[in-house]
Amino acid sequence: MNATLPRVLHGATGRPLSLAEHQATFAAPVRTSGLFEELEASGLTGRGGGAFPTSRKVSLLRNQRGHGKVVVVNAMEGEPEAHKDRTLLSTNPHLVLDGAEYLAAMIGAKTVAVCVPRDNQTVVHYLKRAIYERTLRTHKGPTFELHAAPWRYVAGEESALVHWLNDNESLPQYRASRTHVLRVGRGPALVDNAETCAHVALIGRFGAAWFREMGTATSPGSALVSLTGAVDRPKVLEVSLGTTLAAILDAGNADRRPQALLTGGYGGTWLAGNHLDVPYANETLGPVGAMVGTGVLVVLPRSGCGLLETKRVVDWMANESARQCGPCAFGLPALAEDLTHLLHARRDGPRVLARLIERCGVIEGRGACRHPDGVVRMVRSALSVFATDIERHAQGSMCEGAKADEHWVTVPSIVHEDELVWQ
Ligand code: SF4
């Protein structure tokens, strides 16, 4: 396989490749030794949002004693604007399963738990078939288990996913640090995002040097981007990390003169539209206040209202938490209320704006997980990027975008537990 794009989406035909097609498409001998060293040299970081070095996670699990280790493939994709994992699993499910199998070999796990949202029965079906095909192989790898969990925003958070596997409850658990090892039953668990697993599979075949032929020195490789908002149609693109935002918008037929971009998803940040020359990688997005995060880019056109979109997202995020901690139970609904007040340019706007800023400081860092911190980060970025508009709203003047009530960020509304409506 040469160093051109696509990589993890290579061979896409509009349907999932069978095991035989997959083996023909990615024909290359898999390393039987030195897999961990290659992974370490590749510099691969997690593609689920945290960008944690994958080899460090693996190393932690390799150092754990005891039986019952498990690899958990996290394809929950709780971020409503993200479509990359379901696209990948609808194209190259065996690449994801290969990567999980290599990770299992590296840590000595005999079980791989693949977790997907149960509302996406198409992907559940694709995975059932892929796992069945693997049981027919002469080479028996680890045992694959398919878990279809209820979809919600926090369900994809690592500790919530493990909690669900253990107790059927998608609630995040307090962790003193990110290096705290999670357990499924008694077995130490390595949780990796589906896209991360696909990259591991390619590194296992083609090596670290090949992987690094794309991307930047700090952020090597390619990554999937879910591009939505002011685009001809929502799509998933595979890009070399370090590609400029302008080039990504071009490739995706998006508005080239946007007002702003929402980067990294609902728990990410707004970036003003005059930063399109910035390369798409954490080390270059970070200094301008943006992030790769969950690989989401929502394009907000000049006609849109950033305050309206922020308020819609915060409303939903306030509803999505399990409300087991104060910042989620009280803080997020209060943020949503202040944003609604400002959006409708009600009286007393300057005081509400000052209160909103203060609330952000009170909420930050006080939850058992980072859900509320993500919301605060997004709200603060909105206060900065849309400062002029928000000030006008606070002074009693609604912008045209808010009056038009046109929506650019897709926000699901929960009708009841298992039924979602997308707005
Ligand atoms: S901070 Fe919020 S989402 Fe996280 S565990 Fe507490 S209540 Fe749940």
How confident is the model over 256-313, as pLDDT tens digits?
999 999 999 999 999 999 999 999 999 999 999 999 999 999 999 999 999 999 999 9
Does residue 5 lie within any of the structural domains? no
Give the pTM: 0.94
Residue 175 confidence class, pLDDT cut points 50, 70, 90: confident
328 in ligand 1 pocket by Cβ < 6 Å? yes
Q: Where are the alpha helices (DSSP H) in 212-331?
A: 245-251, 282-285, 306-320, 326
Structure tokens at 106: 């590296």
Q: What CATH number has the domain bearing residue 390?
A: 1.20.1440.230
Q: If pLDDT is split at 50, 70 and 90, which confidence band does 67 have?
A: confident
Query: Is there a single domain that holds both residue 68 and residue 167?
Result: yes
Query: The tokens of 162 are what?
Result: 């493990």
User: Are the CB atoms for 25 and 11 separated by under 8 Å?
Assistant: yes
The average pLDDT across 397-411 equals: 95
Give how far Cα 108 sits from Cα of 105, 193, 315, Å: 5, 19, 43
Same domain, yes or no: 194 and 254: no
Tell me, yes or no, whether 9 lies in a domain. Answer: no
Measured in Å, residue 325 CA sits from the centre of ligand 1 at 5
Q: Quick check: CB of 321 below 6 Å from ligand 1? A: yes
Kind of pairing between the strands at 182-184 and 143-149? unpaired
pLDDT tops 70 at residue 418 = no
Q: Alpha carbon of 28 to those of 1, 96, 202, 265, 308: distances in Å? A: 8, 16, 9, 35, 50
Looking at the predicted structure, is the pLDDT value of residue 12 above 70? yes
Q: What is the CA radius of gyration of the chain?
A: 21
Q: Tell whether ligand 1 has an atom less than 6 A from the beta carbon of residue 363.
A: no
- 373 Cα: distance to centroid of ligand 1 (angstroms): 10
Tell me: do 78 and 112 sit in the same domain: yes
Q: Which of 49, 32, 43 is nearest to 192 (CA)?
A: 49
Residue 48 belongs to domain with CATH number: 3.40.50.11540
In a domain, 10, yes or no: no
Q: Is 242 in the pocket of ligand 1 (CB under 6 A)?
A: no
DSSP 180: P
pLDDT at 178: 67
Cβ of 267 below 6 Å from ligand 1:
no
Number of domains comprising the chain: 3
Domain termination site, one of 280, 300, 320: 300
| Final residue belonging to a domain, choices 211, 242, 259 | 211
Report residue 321's pLDDT band, with 50, 70 and 90 as the boundaries.
Answer: confident
Residue 283, domain CATH: 3.10.20.600
Q: Taking the C-alpha atoms of 135, 137, 141 and 145 in order, what is their torsion angle to the nearest 10 degrees? A: -20
Residue whose CA is at the smallest distance from ligand 1 atom 4: 369
- The CA-atom distances, in angstroms, between 390 and each of 69, 380, 384 are 50, 12, 9
For residue 172, how far is its CA from the centre of ligand 1 (angstroms)?
6
Q: Could you tell me what percentage of the chain is helix, strand and coil, using 3-state DSSP and rounding each to the nearest 5?
A: 45, 15, 40
Q: Are 149 and 41 in contact (CB under 8 A)?
A: no
- Mark 6-17 as b/e (b = at least 16 C-beta within 10 Å): ebbbbbbeeebb
Last residue within a domain, chosen from 300, 317, 340: 300
Do residues 178 and 34 both lie within one domain? Answer: yes
Are residues 229 and 200 located together in one domain of the fold?
no
Given phi > 0 = left and psi -120 to 50 = alpha, else beta, which region is 108? Answer: left
Is residue 394 domain-shared with residue 293, that is, in the same domain? no
Q: Are 192 and 72 in contact (CB under 8 A)?
A: yes
Q: 331: CA distance to ligand 1 center in Å?
A: 11
Quote the tokens at residue 269: 């940040």
Q: What's the pLDDT tens digit per position in 137-151?
A: 887 789 999 999 988
Q: What span, in angstroms and rounded, lies between the C-alpha atoms of 396 and 158? A: 43
Beta bridge partners of 144: 112
Q: How confident is the model at residue 155 (pLDDT cuts 50, 70, 90)?
A: confident
- pLDDT (mean) for 205-221: 97
Q: Is 377 found in the same domain as 287?
A: no
| 97-122: average pLDDT | 96
Distance between CA 165 and CA 170 in Å, rounded? 9
Residue 377 has pLDDT above 90, yes or no: yes
> 3-class secondary structure for 262-280?
EECCCCCEEEECCCCCCEC
Which residue out of 152, 162, 266, 324 has the highest number of ligand 1 atoms within 8 Å of its CB and is therefore the one to mutate? 324
Ligand 1 pocket residue status of 261, Cβ below 6 Å: no
Calculate how far, in angstroms, residue 153's C-alpha sits from the geometric centre of ligand 1: 11
Which of 323, 362, 375, 377 has most ligand 1 atoms within 8 Å of its beta carbon, as the pocket-test mutant? 323
Does the pLDDT value for residue 421 go beyond 70?
no
* 331 and 262 co-located in one domain: no
**What is the spatial distance between Cα 302 and Cα 388, in angstroms, rounded to a whole number?**
14
Segment 61-76 shows an average pLDDT of 93
What is the distance of C-alpha 403 from the center of its chain?
A: 31
DSSP letter (8 states) at residue 16: P
Q: Are residues 142 and 199 in the same domain?
A: yes
The range of the structural domain enclosing residue 226 comes to: 222-300
CA–CA distance, 359 with 347 (Å, rounded to integer): 19
Ligand 1 in reach of 332 Cβ (< 6 A): no
Q: Are residues 91 and 119 in the same domain?
A: yes
**What spacing in Å lies between the alpha carbon of 311 and ligand 1's midpoint?**
19
Q: Is residue 107 in some structural domain?
A: yes
User: DSSP states of 323-390 as a string?
Assistant: --SHIIIIIHHHHHHHHHHHHTT-TTHHHHHHHHHHHHHHHTT-SSSSHHHHHHHHHHHHHHHTHHHH
Residue whose CB lies within 8 A of the most ligand 1 atoms, among 152, 170, 321, for a mutation test: 321
Q: Do residues 289 and 376 both lie within one domain?
A: no
What percent of the chain clears pLDDT 70, i.e. is strictly above it? 96
Q: Are 316 and 371 within one domain?
A: yes
* Residue 337, in any domain of the structure: yes
Sign of CA dihedral 244, 93, 371, 314: positive
Ligand 1: does its nearest atom lie under 6 Å from the Cβ of 368? Answer: yes
Return the ligand 1 atom nearest residue 173 CA.
5
The helix or strand, by DSSP H or E, that contains position 143, with its residue range, turns out to be strand 143-149
Question: Closest ligand 1 atom to the C-alpha of 160?
Answer: 5
217 part of a folded domain: no
Whether 264 is covered by a domain: the verdict is yes
- Residue 423, in any domain of the structure: no
Helices (H), 81-230: 84-89, 93-107, 121-135, 158-167, 194-211
